[in-house]
Amino acid sequence: MKTFTEYLYFNTKHKREYVRITDKVEDIVRRSGVKDGMALVSAMHITAGVWVNDAEEGLLDDIDNWLDSLTPHGAYPRMKWPEPGQEGPVNAVRTEYLHHRTGEDNGDSHLKSILVHHQVIVPVTDSRLDLGTWQQVYYAEFDGQRRKRVIVKVMGA
Amino acid sequence: MKTFTEYLYFNTKHKREYVRITDKVEDIVRRSGVKDGMALVSAMHITAGVWVNDAEEGLLDDIDNWLDSLTPHGAYPRMKWPEPGQEGPVNAVRTEYLHHRTGEDNGDSHLKSILVHHQVIVPVTDSRLDLGTWQQVYYAEFDGQRRKRVIVKVMGA
Amino acid sequence: MKTFTEYLYFNTKHKREYVRITDKVEDIVRRSGVKDGMALVSAMHITAGVWVNDAEEGLLDDIDNWLDSLTPHGAYPRMKWPEPGQEGPVNAVRTEYLHHRTGEDNGDSHLKSILVHHQVIVPVTDSRLDLGTWQQVYYAEFDGQRRKRVIVKVMGA
């Protein structure tokens, strides 16, 4: 059994940015010598995520808009739903993240990280990433403009 | 150390459909000869998911309604929240997915995939899936009516 | 190759509670004798989750409020969005979970479990959890006040 570990480093231009890392993961797997196994790709920060999805610019914008709609920057909405069994208008109280009492302003980045998950496992078969045609590995930065990292750990035979 | 890989194929009747695959995963684990380890169950598409939850028809409908409420088909809502610190009605701008400029109409399927995650690891102990009493493995199809697949890779001793 | 498995047990005071388990996972990894590999930390229930994020009380409250806003207890909102391309007020129909027809009242706990995911893999390097500075492993109880458990399975060299 072999294990092999490397770290990827990021320092994005924007606060939120989505970086395709499939080729870097593939390169690490090649150098690991593992022919069959699994590669863990896991953010080492609590304001970042890793996902597998499409490399399509429009979709990346959709994902970004959708995430920021559900977990808006600065203050988050506590919903006031209609009573059970009722139909009616939706109200919300917009509350500053309690996390910001620590001096941070990235409460939304933590929620985004939990929503998309911070890691994936990429299967390795015949020394290659065993991904579907359209599957690409992305690093999702939710609080960038500073040095962050991702661990890639390959394990197998 | 052993590794063992098989693929499951799906071609669902409906666009969205939830298929219990626990028995198929258990069968693959049995044939793998792995007594102790992990089984990765991972969708090979960017419009599908895999989760572990209850085999209860009502809940599956709840999950479906809830997912489609948060990531509606055709166009998605960009929320207009009240100002920070304020309470008020919620408005939304309903925007066509930018992803649809490519000719696709499945922007919502991608978001659903990211929301529920596309993979799980099932622990294997004494040659069996080491799941809790109510845990069932599901393939979640969000853009079906065509051939899709899931990789099951078992690794262990 | 080594594998090593233990179970953690919980019986929380409150229905929803977030329990830091990093030290317990680290202790299991130490006793496993695994120097390099992966530790799967996975809830064995369909109304619980496991995540990696910050050990900060304000943030834990933020996460709890946010989750309960998106998947409220008792009845869930089916959104009535404006027409595609339109801006307008958001309405909702508040529907009892269909899952409750079984006599259960924890439909929201299932959705919360799916939203945050029920498991993480912690990388192990040099016999230690290879986590970033602020990463802590949490057990997320969404339907507590009864005995629940988490499997920790360590695999590696």
Rounded to the nearest integer, the mean pLDDT of chain B is 97
The pLDDT confidence band at residue B70, using thresholds 50, 70 and 90, is: very high
Chain C residue numbers touching B116 (CB-CB < 8 A): 114
Q: How far is CA B51 from CA A93, B126, B140, in A?
A: 32, 23, 7
Distance from CA of A26 to the nearest CA of B (A): 16
pLDDT at site A146: 98
Chains in contact with A via at least 3 Cβ–Cβ pairs below 8 Å: B, C
Q: What number of CA atoms fall less than 13 Å from residue B138's CA on the CB side?
A: 28
Specify the residue for token string 């055709």.
B74
Q: Sort strands B37-43 and C17-20 into parallel, antiparallel or unpaired.
A: unpaired
Amino acid at site B107: G
A121, containing H or E segment: strand A119-125
pLDDT at site C50: 98
Between CA C12 and CA C16 the distance in angstroms is 8
pLDDT at site C120: 98
Chains in contact with B via at least 3 Cβ–Cβ pairs below 8 Å: A, C
A54, containing H or E segment: none
Q: Given A40, A117, A121, which is nearest C117 (Cβ)?
A: A117
Rounded to the nearest integer, the mean pLDDT of chain C is 97
CB contact under 8 A, C98 and B62: yes
Torsion-angle region of A130 (φ positive above 0: left; ψ -120 to 50: alpha; else: beta): beta
Which spans in chain A are helix H?
Answer: 22-32, 57-70, 107-116
Between CA C30 and CA B120 the distance in angstroms is 25
Chain B residue numbers touching A63 (CB-CB < 8 A): 110-111, 114
pLDDT at site B134: 98
Between CA A96 and CA A100 the distance in angstroms is 7
pLDDT digits (tens, 9 = 90+) for C49-82: 999 999 999 999 999 999 999 999 999 999 999 9
**Residue of A51, A86, A110 to mutate when probing chain C, most C C-beta within 10 A:** A110
Between CA A71 and CA A107 the distance in angstroms is 9
pLDDT digits (tens, 9 = 90+) for B36-62: 999 999 999 999 999 999 999 999 999
Specify the residue for token string 């040659």.
B127
Return the number of CB contacts < 8 Å for A and B: 131
pLDDT at site B40: 98
Q: What number of CA atoms fall less than 13 Å from residue B47's CA on the CB side?
A: 22
Q: Given A54, A89, A156, which is nearest B46 (Cβ)?
A: A54
pLDDT at site B154: 98
pLDDT at site B127: 98
Distance from CA of B66 to the nearest CA of A (A): 14
Q: Given C99, C113, C117, which is nearest B58 (Cβ)?
A: C99
pLDDT at site B73: 95
Over chain A (157 residues), what is each successive 10-residue block's mean pLDDT? 97 98 98 98 98 98 97 95 96 96 97 98 98 98 98 98
Distance from CA of C86 to the nearest CA of B (A): 6
CB contact under 8 A, B157 and C3: yes
CB contact under 8 A, C125 and A5: yes
pLDDT at site A126: 98
Task: State phi, psi for B135 to the nearest 5 degrees.
Answer: -80, 125
Residues 6+ apart with CB under 8 A from C9: C147, C148, C149
Distance of CA B114 to the CA centre of its chain: 8
pLDDT at site C110: 98
**Token pair for residue B134?**
């109510």
Q: Given C77, C96, C117, which is nearest A81 (Cβ)?
A: C77
Chain B residue numbers touching C38 (CB-CB < 8 A): 38
Distance from CA of C49 to the nearest CA of A (A): 11
CB contact under 8 A, C53 and A95: no
Between CA C38 and CA C156 the distance in angstroms is 6
Q: What number of CA atoms fall less than 13 Å from residue A120's CA on the CB side?
A: 32
Q: Are A108 and A142 spatial neighbours (Cβ–Cβ below 8 Å)?
A: yes
**Token pair for residue A107?**
């409460």
Between CA C55 and CA C68 the distance in angstroms is 20
Which residues, given as ranges, of chain C have pLDDT below 50? none
3-class DSSP state for residue B34? coil
DSSP state of C134: T
Between CA B111 and CA A70 the distance in angstroms is 12
CB contact under 8 A, B44 and A75: no
pLDDT digits (tens, 9 = 90+) for B72-90: 999 999 999 999 999 999 9
Between CA C111 and CA C117 the distance in angstroms is 10
